[in-house]
Structure 1
């Protein structure tokens, strides 16, 4: 029966790697029972299990009940088993992970004599599709390196990999935040990234160190926690019994990057050299292994600043060359040179990372894994924006690393997995210039008769200097037991982590001057000066713990459940001291940080329905519901520790009008201690130092989400899979904030703006600039913003995804999905962290108001992308050459129009503008500006304005155009010159749509493949009329401009070159060659075909052979029809078998495993289709009574029997000639 074992191994290898590596956990549990011919248990039987991926062998002896349990950390899901016992015939098995299981059941019935052919039990999964899930009810996508290394994507960027899962929304990086992603409409900071089962603080690892990555968008496993969105679960490669590794080099060069304006520094052309490598193997075979990987990269970009911008780029930024030239000249007059010899002309970014792993089998029952990781980066010319000059930035450095221990143990069927990880990170940025930040509002006439308004920046970036350190300790332990027969796996686990951070910097540490025009800047008359003052580092610490109890229940082969409870708690030490003044005025205590304990239930199921003639299911229905608890952002507690209202706490200086201290740039340059720490004059109305306070409400808790999903998938035509997944997420206890020191009594209303309330009296507004003093809206004048952080906000997201994937003509595999999303959430005017010194404030993305910022407003979420489509294609054109592609199309992101300035007097720049109708505006300048804007604005911006004329703009009421993207990769694997297909040379065509746009449209670009960064500012505050009590505005006629040729930032069409050389053995190719020839050498096509033919069932000949023994009493006509159909089936099967055996036996050992697998998969499916059609014909020939006598082993030759035996392959003597 070795041919059955061989055929099933080939079938597993034939599956493409994207289908094969849907691994549910890092540890495989092999269980089973060995019995004799009479069904009695066999004690002392020797069970040898060998991983097909790693070639590592584990040995176990059965107990008195004949049962065994073997543990494989990172085993790979496919195993060869050999069972030997004195007095019995040896038996061989192949175990392959089912798509929804974490344990593999291998029951064996041994024969008495060695003359009886060996019994073979195969627990192989049917042809799995990418949408099948490793956990009951869950939705996720597996991304093994074998797939990722062939696609046009950065393999080590975990956040980029997450966007390959349908419905995941990518969140682009900014100059202060890393790239991330959003799942189910949840905030990006509520995701989880794990490496080898524990939290990992970095979004990238050396690409050769990654064994597998899973993007989990829905799960009901109670072992997973600390997130409300999604999870990226990656595992690292460990050493095996095979010496193997790879070296990878990639090149990006400006000469291979093509833009319509080659000299434009904003074209984002760059050069990059990157080297990745990894290698490992056994130190002691089957005992001690090691694997190490590294990554080195250097990237240089053109410095995007006002000095590098040409006139066309400046126009697209909303300004002109004359204004910028005057601005640069004024800087020189103040001695503030825009750049110096020490500031580089290019942005240089060096990155390095390394990972080393050691695996040690202490005994048959214990395996120890030790892992160390390190990463570091150096970036010159950091934090320089296109609207600033080079001296605003600085040089940044970061470093981090950690060490991990994992111990997996097995005590008589009780499995324990202990993990511990300690890590630390540090970041620092040293500024080039230590003077206050400066902002100059400039109105410029643009060549197309529009008036653009922009803010030019100089001095230090307000986020600098920067210095921070963090440390994390995380420990988890899980103990589980698999019931006899494997129906239940009950697990009890716990997790404990502690995070601590120390931040020696804070926003606006050196202050910010704002000028309302170039004339004001030249005269040295600012309209405002703000500064945050603090004498202490921000420190925060959090302790999180969880205990969970769950069960994975395999009710039957078709029905599986997972359910359980998860108890989580958090506490936050390092609360500041007690502030009696805050307590007496607001009734809140500053010396108490909240703690909480919460119990969450979860349950999920998967039901495999229907069956074809071969016995495998046609599809599945899956779903579940449960509650998920995230983690409160640590910066909240760091802010509260600093902004405590005490003498050692943070202070915020706000000066407007006559209270603004005049800048002395020469003195600032010579001594930063001369930078003002107070306002001019004794008046408290237009300037004062006030202490900001951050406190927590009694109901504060970590964010949570109730989530449910229901999915359906069905296979058809043996090679395609269609699925439909619906999900709903209800976010509760979402974090928000209220300013409890804001007097929300309206002092007057802006009649021309729909009665918008203003919380400061008109006397507290500077007429010449429109700047509003903070004092007019304070309940207690000794405090500034008093932010009470609460958990009263909610969100809801509905999402529906339809997917189709499979194998088309010429072995082309594809996957396509369409997702429609509807996401709503609540925000408050202080909902976004940052700015303002006190913690919340600053009116960042998502934080806006039309009146009272303390009132939660429900609206469209920032994370919503109403429509999104994703497609991936892999086409093995010929041996040694394949094409792959990733295409995306998403409807435009939404954005909120804003006003540059404070209108309602709450002290924050978070007000949404009133959409003035040009025909009814009280101000002629506004009417003229709105008319010109409507005449020349992009279509979507115009629609947004017209739809809201005469009202205050709604949150996220505007949208940008749809954003398509297409990346293509060509992989060449030469076999000559002794390369043996170990070398892969790749050409990547990145952002191909831009190249197509240039080719088709020349200078009249449509903006295909370009990022969209709309100008969100509609109105700039220019003054205040105290008589009519209305603000004076200037319309930004560049509002919403961000498409086609009006986009200043151009991402080029790029050709990247990459080469990867495989070292040592290739485990996939080794399995393929073993299936074709084994240790005795490669077989001929005739020999291999003979082995395959004996494993392909012919039901017609089987029924004829069983006629007498079963008493079928076939008549002459039936026998003739069965014989004719049997001959026809044999002839058609011969064609398939000849092709399959010739491909396998005739292909070189250096052949590409992926392409060979694709060819085999197609032929095997054809053979199975023939057998299934034959069964229907056979049933039609027999009478119902005769068909009822035919054994199930003939009716369902590929089905699993209740005892685990494959149909037709039990311990029975085969008919002669079989």
Structure 2
């Protein structure tokens, strides 16, 4: 006994300190394994048959010489009936067995001989998936019942992945949202290109990857030790879709909300008129009973939301008279209509069609074919108290998706099974601008308000912006059961074809420091990008692939201990090279525009374990270690293809040069502005660059507690192996500090020179860093009561640190968004954008059914999430250190007025007339009060603020759902009318001071303005103590639902 225990402990230690791994998330099925014995031992050759009752699908195998059996590629869910036969023994049957996605069901049988009278064995398979011999790493499974019963505002996958304790929105365990992987039925459904930063394509069109009515189950994995998972360093999300059965069943539904179901904001203001509707249907039916099945879902979503802070609204930046004066001037002078300045209704549309065919070819082979079609669009026109966009500065984002997947599941014989997946995705994105083409005009300091901006003309990033993606994937997993080993040999391959057109400032961008300068044709800044060859608009087009090959051995060391060890080879490939620009290689030796790492073999071993410490699975210890290799979003690579310096030239004028050049209104003549542009931005990549990798470790214990409760304690630690780091090779330190006069020598941060080589507006290098780590500690309790009550509560504590959070899609912004004090090319290791710290969540659901055949019922569900506030950064408004990045300089917190050179602040009206002047003393008094009232700033006087050093207040949200089923039986068919009412942020309904949500744009707040003209600083005494409250999300919102179901 002691020897066996010692052996297991050694294996655990080896698992925790051993090697490491990465794989592809391709799990679409469940499995069943176990042993068949009699009183004397194993029974080789026993027949095991599992029947999926809803579809009649039959899975059958025989036990091997050790009496073991394994059935792979089984449908999740149930119920199943299991039959075990052996000549001379009583047949044993188990009913109502339910299988969980990716969690094999263990079924051990001891047969009695025929001479004994044995009653049928009845087993309920609805047990908690936590206590499972194959469970090693952190994972959360969301069942069909939870999807149906819990409150959901957007009817999105994220509304349910938030049930993962380590989640923070779309981020998991403190990692970037771009490092997640999302699969549907095991096939890739990622936003591979990564512009939106959302897990699935279509994020910029605000569409969901699939209708919830097509989803049966959702799984989130963070540290899986199975060779079939991977291509992520954050979280892996896998949604399994519904399928048809032998029963004809379906549903038609409607969900809707408008301004009448939204509370007032904290200022007592009602919500503007809006509506959101979603309606659709689903149908599952047999085409041929027990053989061929169909499932189809169609859904349409429509949102209409008016702009806020319109002319005439409270706190609006623009008055009706000033707007008309401006519109008349532009029309008369340039013949251009700037569009409406009144309220504008913005529409978001999404049409989805999902279809799935399932064919039971025979008892050994099942084939699934599915297609998902999405067409979506979203209008974009934002306004705020300090930012006003005229109608024709808006744009529409269009998205179309066609994704097809074919899956063949085969049980070749009792020991050998195979799973084959082939998929094709065709995704098209494009922006469309409003009105006729015109340069973007930005008038700053509108009304004399520092930091306020008015914009009109064609949005500068939208006049040449489209993306085509074509992806083919091929996955094959072969499993072999022999003795106490289950071997997996597999491959997962993805082939990509991209064409990305993105030309910023293609139709010109003109900035004026005030309205007078615009009327007098004196721009302060001009930015234009135009093709080097007239008449062409080159796109970044390239082909790439990521190949994966892996092998794994699952060893059942003894009935209580399972060890999993695997090895994977990942090979990223680029089939096209960016064009070579010799001038860049000469300017930056060792780097070139055509240098692109390709064909690297990334070796990733992994090991994990599961130990039934008590022998009856009341205590289970599990864990493992692995090197998880993800993908970098391909937009980061596309930047190099599109910015070689050969396809485009840039014009960047400022000050007097821009004043003299003047405003050119013709969008087709922007290349003629000023002198011919001969500058450009280049994007480069280190020859040593590797895709993101983390070394992840976890250790957990699960407990069956009294009363049927299940508890979990889990720890996860991830060490960065490779993360992204951006550097601008065209920025260098001056060897001096910023002017001591700005702070009487208190702030002596280094000064920098940007554009050391004037030809380059920036030379941004994509490189790696190994700095960074994250960890989380989680405690969770859950219980599924027999009376229809389900409850869960969890607490997670974590920290996440990095040097770059990968928050943007372009190289320049990824470099600029990392706020610094010292070297901008060597940022400090600090808390990441996704650092969560404390998170508490709980959910409770109670359902009671009654009436004939239990056709009627009432369901009550509640969800709570509370978390410590989002981290954010205090900054200067301006470019204090001269590195060319505006708004990335960390704040120096003055101790006294001697530490900051305050200069006069003039407030002007729309015509530039001074209406108010604040003295340096008035500004300091207000700033000093602000600092004293800030819990973070008052503790770091005389020091620099850190990136993400401060935090917004705690956030608490309670969501509620009440659902009533009114049912009846028509023949043998159950028919129900289901009425539901969801309330989100429920506590705000009780008290408008509760449930407030907080955020800052880009998680940064520019508290103090650097006035380069007066060589000092400004702070507006009217700055409120808290500007971070989300006006709309802080209100309670209601949603009504009406559904008709039959089955």
Q: TM-score, normalised by structure 2?
A: 0.84
Q: Take 1:159 and 1:700, find their aligned partners in 2: how far apart are those partners?
A: 32
> Larger deviation: 422-431 or 716-725?
716-725
Give the alignment of 1:532-681 within 5 angstroms: 532-534=529-531, 535-587=537-589, 588-595=591-598, 596-610=600-614, 616-646=616-646, 649-660=647-658, 668=665, 671-675=666-670, 677-679=672-674
1:1019 is matched with: 1008
Give the alignment of 1:165-564 within 5 angstroms: 165-170=164-169, 181-201=170-190, 202=200, 203-260=208-265, 267=271, 270-304=274-308, 306-307=309-310, 310-311=313-314, 313-314=315-316, 326=322, 329-335=325-331, 340=339, 345-381=344-380, 387-412=388-413, 413-433=415-435, 434-442=437-445, 453-465=451-463, 466-484=465-483, 487-534=484-531, 535-564=537-566
Q: Take 1:639 and 1:236, find their aligned partners in 2: how far apart are those partners?
A: 35
Contact 2:500 2:540 in 1 (8 A): yes
2:724 to 718, 724, 735: 735
- In structure 2, the CA distance between the partners of 1:34 and 1:821, relative to structure 1 (3 Å rule), is closer
Q: Take 2:996 and 2:613, find their aligned partners in 1: how far apart are those partners?
A: 44
Q: Take 2:846 and 2:453, find their aligned partners in 1: how far apart are those partners?
A: 49
Shift, 1:67, TM fit? 7.9
Q: Take 1:495 and 1:578, find their aligned partners in 2: how far apart are those partners?
A: 32
Contact 1:661 1:679 in 2 (8 A): no
- In structure 2, the CA distance between the partners of 1:469 and 1:995, relative to structure 1 (3 Å rule), is same
Contact 2:39 2:110 in 1 (8 A): no
> Larger deviation: 226-235 or 89-98?
89-98
Which of the two has greater strand per residue?
2
Shift, 1:1035, TM fit? 4.7
Contact 2:510 2:523 in 1 (8 A): yes
2:750 is matched with: 757
Residues 530-553 of structure 1 show CA distances to partners (whole Å, capped at 9, x for unaligned) of 223344112243210111111223
- In structure 2, the CA distance between the partners of 1:526 and 1:65, relative to structure 1 (3 Å rule), is closer
Cα root mean square deviation, aligned = 3.5
- In structure 2, the CA distance between the partners of 1:708 and 1:653, relative to structure 1 (3 Å rule), is same
Say yes or no: does 1:855 pair with 2:840: no
Shift, 1:24, TM fit? 11
Q: Take 1:512 and 1:133, find their aligned partners in 2: how far apart are those partners?
A: 60
Say yes or no: does 1:968 pair with 2:964: no
1:79 is matched with: 80
Shift, 1:796, TM fit? 0.9
SS of match in other structure, 2:829: strand
Q: How many residues align?
A: 962
> Larger deviation: 528-537 or 127-136?
127-136
1:922 is matched with: 901
SS of match in other structure, 1:674: helix
2:12 is matched with: none
Say yes or no: does 1:803 pair with 2:788: no
1:724 is matched with: 713
Q: Take 1:873 and 1:353, find their aligned partners in 2: how far apart are those partners?
A: 31
Q: Take 2:292 and 2:785, find their aligned partners in 1: how far apart are those partners?
A: 44
Contact 1:453 1:1036 in 2 (8 A): no
Contact 1:872 1:884 in 2 (8 A): yes
2:873 is matched with: 896
Structure showing greater Rg: 1
1:953 to 932, 945, 953: 945
Q: Take 1:662 and 1:1055, find their aligned partners in 2: how far apart are those partners?
A: 56
1:111 to 106, 110, 113: 113
Q: Take 1:442 and 1:878, find their aligned partners in 2: how far apart are those partners?
A: 63
Shift, 1:659, TM fit? 1.2
Shift, 1:886, TM fit? 0.9
- In structure 2, the CA distance between the partners of 1:807 and 1:632, relative to structure 1 (3 Å rule), is closer
Contact 2:100 2:129 in 1 (8 A): no
2:14 is matched with: none
Shift, 1:342, TM fit? 12
Residues 571-609 of structure 1 show CA distances to partners (whole Å, capped at 9, x for unaligned) of 123212222222222112222210221111222222233
- In structure 2, the CA distance between the partners of 1:36 and 1:908, relative to structure 1 (3 Å rule), is closer
Residues 1166-1203 of structure 1 show CA distances to partners (whole Å, capped at 9, x for unaligned) of xxxxxxxxxxxxxxxxxxxxxxxxxxxxxxxxxxxxxx
Q: Take 1:42 and 1:814, find their aligned partners in 2: how far apart are those partners?
A: 43
SS of match in other structure, 1:875: strand
Residues 979-1006 of structure 1 show CA distances to partners (whole Å, capped at 9, x for unaligned) of 95733211111221222223xxxxxx46
Q: Take 1:100 and 1:341, find their aligned partners in 2: how far apart are those partners?
A: 54
Residues 703-756 of structure 1 show CA distances to partners (whole Å, capped at 9, x for unaligned) of 100111112232322232332211111122111111112232336532125123
Residues 426-454 of structure 1 show CA distances to partners (whole Å, capped at 9, x for unaligned) of 11221114222233332768xxxxx7643
> Larger deviation: 494-503 or 871-880?
871-880
Contact 1:407 1:419 in 2 (8 A): yes
Give the alignment of 1:762-911 within 5 angstroms: 777-806=754-783, 812-827=789-804, 833-834=808-809, 839-841=811-813, 845=817, 847-876=818-847, 879=850, 880-909=857-886, 910-911=888-889
1:1143 is matched with: none
1:1041 to 1026, 1029, 1032: 1026
Shift, 1:191, TM fit? 0.4
- In structure 2, the CA distance between the partners of 1:71 and 1:813, relative to structure 1 (3 Å rule), is closer
Q: Take 2:69 and 2:618, find their aligned partners in 1: how far apart are those partners?
A: 32
Shift, 1:281, TM fit? 2.2
Contact 2:295 2:356 in 1 (8 A): yes
Contact 2:723 2:768 in 1 (8 A): yes
> Larger deviation: 915-924 or 528-537?
915-924
- In structure 2, the CA distance between the partners of 1:915 and 1:507, relative to structure 1 (3 Å rule), is farther
Q: Take 1:309 and 1:110, find their aligned partners in 2: how far apart are those partners?
A: 85
Residues 368-412 of structure 1 show CA distances to partners (whole Å, capped at 9, x for unaligned) of 111111001133455677632222102332111111111112222
Q: Take 1:343 and 1:1035, find their aligned partners in 2: how far apart are those partners?
A: 29
Residues 321-352 of structure 1 show CA distances to partners (whole Å, capped at 9, x for unaligned) of 66x86466334422387864799831111211
Q: Take 2:932 and 2:782, find their aligned partners in 1: how far apart are those partners?
A: 36
Shift, 1:690, TM fit? 1.0
Contact 1:756 1:850 in 2 (8 A): yes
Q: TM-score, normalised by structure 1?
A: 0.73
Q: Take 1:357 and 1:897, find their aligned partners in 2: how far apart are those partners?
A: 51
Give the alignment of 1:986-1025 within 5 angstroms: 986-998=980-992, 1005=993, 1008-1009=996-997, 1016-1024=1005-1013
Q: Take 2:563 and 2:932, find their aligned partners in 1: how far apart are those partners?
A: 51
Which of the two has greater helix per residue?
1
Q: Take 2:246 and 2:559, find their aligned partners in 1: how far apart are those partners?
A: 34
- In structure 2, the CA distance between the partners of 1:1010 and 1:989, relative to structure 1 (3 Å rule), is farther
- In structure 2, the CA distance between the partners of 1:292 and 1:96, relative to structure 1 (3 Å rule), is closer
Contact 2:307 2:382 in 1 (8 A): no
Q: Take 2:284 and 2:782, find their aligned partners in 1: how far apart are those partners?
A: 35
1:1127 is matched with: none
Q: Take 1:497 and 1:563, find their aligned partners in 2: how far apart are those partners?
A: 24
Shift, 1:269, TM fit? 5.6
2:8 is matched with: none
Q: Take 2:376 and 2:981, find their aligned partners in 1: how far apart are those partners?
A: 27
Contact 1:540 1:634 in 2 (8 A): no
Contact 1:136 1:560 in 2 (8 A): no
Residues 881-903 of structure 1 show CA distances to partners (whole Å, capped at 9, x for unaligned) of 22111111111111112333333
Q: Take 1:923 and 1:75, find their aligned partners in 2: how far apart are those partners?
A: 67
Residues 460-486 of structure 1 show CA distances to partners (whole Å, capped at 9, x for unaligned) of 3232133221111111110011234xx
Shift, 1:124, TM fit? 6.4
